[in-house]
C-alpha cells in the first residue's frame, strides 16, 4: 500500500470537546490507513499578549461603564484553564508548528510537500468561525500536484452566510478541489447553488471510530464513575433547557452530572480560577459511557449519544445552527429526539425505547460509504 503524506486543515483546536475529537478521529483514520499525517495548527492568535492587552483595556472600559467587574485572564491563567484540553491535543494529535497568520501558512506549504490536503471537518466553511475563510478553501496552495479534498466540511447552517465578494472568491477556489464532501444534507445544495460544485454526504469523523476506540482513551485513567445518572452537555444554558433537565431528572429519577467548567471564562466574575478549568476530554467521553440518559444542545453531544447507544434529547440552539441536527437525526430516523420547547417533552418520549440495532445498522452502512470516500480520494 502506497504511503501518502497528508495535511489536515480544521478549525482552531481550543476547548470544544467535539471540535477536538473530530480532529483526532480524522487523523487516526488516515494514519491507520498507513499514511503520514499532520494537522495544521492554524490559530487566530486569540490568546496573544497583544490581543489580551487590548481585550483587557476594552473590557475595563465596558465594566466601568456598566459598573461590573468581569475578570480578564492572563495568558498564563488561560493556560491553566485549558490545561487538560491542551494536554489531549498535544499528546493525541500530530500538529504542525503554530501557524497564526496568512504568511505563515503560505510559507509552511512552500517548504513542505503533501500529496493531499484535507479540509475537514466541523464548521470549516462557516465564515464567522474561521481565522481566514479563504484559507479553508486553500487560497494559499499554489502547488497543483497536491490533491485538494474536503471531508465532511460544514456550513453550520442551512442558509448562505457569505457576502457576494466572499462567494465569488470561494467559488473560484472550490472549483479547484478534486473531491468535496459535506456533513449536512443542506450542504449539498449550498455547494451546488453557491459554489458550483457537486458534494457528497458523509459522516462526521467522530462516527468513523468505534465506541471501543473511545473507551480505550479513558479506561486506564482514574476518572469518577457516574452510572445510572443523567448526563448533560449544554453549551448555552437557558431557562428552557434548565426546566427540561429538571423535568427529565424528576420523571426518570436520575441525578444530573456533567463534564464542564463550573464557570465560563468568557462571562466569569468568580475569582476562583479552578472553577473555569475545562475537565479532561476523556472524562467528557466517559460521561456518555456512564450515562443512563443524555440531554445536550451540542452536535457532537448528539453524535456520541448515538455512538454509545444512549437514550437522549437534543435541544438545539438556533444561533449555532439547527440544520446540523435535523440532517444527522433524519439519517438515523431519530427526528423525534429533538425538542424545541417543554411541551414536546413527554413521559412517553422519555421512556420510549430507541431501536439501536436499527441505528447501528444504518451507522455501519454510512460509515462504509464515508470511508470509501476517503479511500477513493486520498
Q: Where are the domains of the chain?
A: 5-46+77-208+366-377, 218-356
Same fold for the domain at 5-46+77-208+366-377 and the one at 218-356? yes
**The pLDDT of residue 23:** 98
**The pLDDT of residue 264:** 87
Cβ-contact 294, 312 below 8 angstroms: yes
**The pLDDT of residue 48:** 45
> Grid cell 451507522 — which residue?
363
> Grid cell 476517503 — which residue?
374
Least Cα distance to 297 among 339, 249, 331, 332 occurs for 339
| Cα gap 147→7, rounded to integer Å | 10
> Grid cell 464567522 — which residue?
128
Which own/partner contact pairs does 327-331 have at CB distance under 8 Å and 24+ positions apart? 327/183, 327/184, 327/185, 327/186, 328/184, 328/204, 328/299, 328/302, 328/303, 329/302, 330/185, 331/362, 331/366
| Cα gap 5→129, rounded to integer Å | 27
| Cα gap 304→322, rounded to integer Å | 17
- The set of residues, in sequence order, having a beta carbon less than 8 Å from that of 109 and lying 6+ positions away, is 7, 117, 140, 141, 142, 143
* CA distance from start to end of the chain: 12
Query: C-alpha 323: how far from its chain's center?
Result: 15
Q: Which helix (H) or strand (E) holds 179?
A: strand 179-182
Please state the CATH superfamily assignment of the domain spanning residues 5-46+77-208+366-377 in this structure: Glycogen Phosphorylase B; (3.40.50.2000)
| Cα gap 127→166, rounded to integer Å | 9
132-156 burial: b if 16+ Cβ within 10 Å, else e: ebebbbbbbbeeeebbbbbbbbbbb
Cβ-contact 120, 8 below 8 angstroms: yes
**The pLDDT of residue 22:** 98
Q: How many CB atoms lie within 10 A of CB 310?
A: 19
Classify residue 84 by burial, with Cβ atoms within 10 Å: 0-12, 13-18, 19+. middle
Q: What is the pTM of this model?
A: 0.92
| Cα gap 152→128, rounded to integer Å | 18
> Grid cell 480524522 — which residue?
26
| Residue 181, φ and ψ in degrees, nearest 5 | -130, 150
Q: What is the mean pLDDT of each run of 10 residues along the chain (378 residues)?
A: 90 96 98 97 65 50 54 91 97 97 94 95 91 94 91 95 97 98 97 98 98 97 94 95 97 98 83 93 98 97 98 90 92 97 96 98 98 96
| Residue 122, φ and ψ in degrees, nearest 5 | 65, -160
| Residue 303, φ and ψ in degrees, nearest 5 | -60, -40
| Cα gap 348→265, rounded to integer Å | 38
| Residue 42, φ and ψ in degrees, nearest 5 | -80, 120
Task: Indicate the class that CATH gives domain 218-356.
Answer: alpha beta
| Cα gap 107→72, rounded to integer Å | 34
- The set of residues, in sequence order, having a beta carbon less than 8 Å from that of 148 and lying 6+ positions away, is 116, 117, 119, 138, 141, 176, 177, 178
Amino acid at each position: 500500500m502506497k504511503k501518502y503524506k497528508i495535511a489536515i486543515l480544521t478549525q482552531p483546536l481550543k476547548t470544544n470537546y467535539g471540535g477536538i475529537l473530530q480532529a483526532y478521529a480524522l487523523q487516526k483514520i488516515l494514519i491507520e490507513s498507513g499514511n503520514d499525517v499532520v494537522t495544521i495548527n492554524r490559530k487566530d492568535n486569540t490568546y496573544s499578549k497583544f490581543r489580551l492587552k487590548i481585550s483587557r483595556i476594552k473590557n475595563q472600559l465596558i465594566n466601568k461603564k456598566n459598573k461590573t467587574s468581569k475578570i480578564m485572564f492572563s495568558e498564563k491563567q488561560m493556560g491553566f484553564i485549558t490545561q487538560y484540553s491542551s494536554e489531549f491535543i498535544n499528546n493525541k494529535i500530530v500538529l504542525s508548528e503554530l501557524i497564526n497568520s496568512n504568511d505563515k501558512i503560505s510559507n509552511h506549504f512552500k517548504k513542505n510537500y503533501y500529496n493531499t490536503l484535507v479540509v475537514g471537518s466541523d464548521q470549516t466553511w462557516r465564515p464567522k468561525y474561521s481565522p481566514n475563510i479563504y484559507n479553508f478553501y486553500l487560497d494559499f496552495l499554489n502547488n497543483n500536484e497536491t490533491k485538494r479534498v474536503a471531508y465532511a466540511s460544514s456550513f453550520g447552517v442551512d442558509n448562505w452566510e457569505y457576502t457576494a465578494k466572499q462567494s465569488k472568491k470561494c467559488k473560484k477556489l472550490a472549483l479547484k478541489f478534486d473531491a468535496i464532501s459535506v456533513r449536512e444534507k443542506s450542504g449539498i445544495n449550498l455547494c451546488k447553488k453557491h459554489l458550483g460544485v457537486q458534494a457528497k454526504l458523509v459522516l462526521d469523523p467522530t462516527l468513523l471510530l468505534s465506541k471501543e476506540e473511545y473507551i480505550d482513551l479513558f479506561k486506564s485513567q482514574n476518572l469518577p464513575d457516574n452510572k445510572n445518572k443523567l448526563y448533560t452537555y449544554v453549551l448555552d444554558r437557558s431557562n428552557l433547557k434548565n426546566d427540561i433537565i429538571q423535568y427529565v431528572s424528576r420523571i426518570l429519577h436520575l441525578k444530573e452530572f456533567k463534564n464542564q467548567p463550573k464557570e465560563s471564562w468568557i462571562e466569569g466574575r468568580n475569582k476562583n480560577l479552578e472553577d473555569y478549568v475545562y475537565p479532561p476530554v476523556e472524562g467528557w467521553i466517559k460521561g456518555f459511557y456512564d450515562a443512563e440518559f443524555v440531554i445536550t444542545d451540542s452536535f457532537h453531544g448528539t453524535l456520541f449519544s448515538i455512538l454509545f447507544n444512549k437514550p437522549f434529547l437534543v435541544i438545539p440552539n438556533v444561533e449555532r445552527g439547527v440544520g446540523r441536527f435535523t440532517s444527522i437525526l433524519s439519517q438515523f430516523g431519530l427526528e423525534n429526539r429533538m425538542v424545541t420547547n417543554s411541551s414536546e417533552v413527554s413521559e412517553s418520549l422519555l421512556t420510549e425505547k430507541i431501536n439501536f440495532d436499527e441505528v447501528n445498522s444504518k451507522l455501519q452502512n454510512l460509515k462504509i460509504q464515508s470511508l470509501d470516500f476517503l479511500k477513493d480520494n486520498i
